[in-house]
A and B are shown apart, each in its own frame.
Chain A
Amino acid sequence: ETVLTQSPAALSVSPGESATLSCRASESVSSGLAWYQQKPGQAPRLLIYDSSARATGIPARFSGSGSGTEFTLTISSLQSEDFAVYFCQQYNNWPPSTFGQGTSVEIK
């Protein structure tokens, strides 16, 4: 199965600053990658699909890029509601769909 490795595991950022999260795949997933946000006690929420397409209702400060094995989620001008855990998921080499282990974005 395709293994996704996210880095860093945790990231401390001040409100208003930008955050860059990385997701690396063990083999090419083309553009079949999604990003999710998860807050404590809540289900994950789809942010980005097909590597760079924003899901419905997702603010423009969230952007995704990459293809093949290297992907990035950028959150510009972090708001208080953006502090959460972020997961990547690949669906190009399915089944199985696989997820990264997550990056926690914390308030600095």
Chain B
Amino acid sequence: DQQVKQNSPSLSVQEGRISILNCDYTNSMFDYFLWYKKYPAEGPTFLISISSIKDKNEDGRFTVFLNKSAKHLSLHIVPSQPGDSAVYFCAASAREYGNKLVFGAGTILRVKS
């Protein structure tokens, strides 16, 4: 069973609009959540993270929201740009598990100009 789920394999958004990528998790031990971005032929790169003691973290155009009771997090990108087109992975970790990352399946974001 996947502990971190990204149920939307792909998302297409117009340039300038908001992109919302969703992620659900099942393990209540997770205490840190991250989003990674991956371009073709490159490794994943860190985008933004949030600790379980917070419900929102913002960094420029990127905001991550965490709803612990629903075991759900989302990444908002506003405004979306063509260069944001990539695969986005949600990941979670727990201190009890040595902070190893558990990844979701990824969502392909296409931003159309």
Q: Are A and B genuine complex partners?
A: no
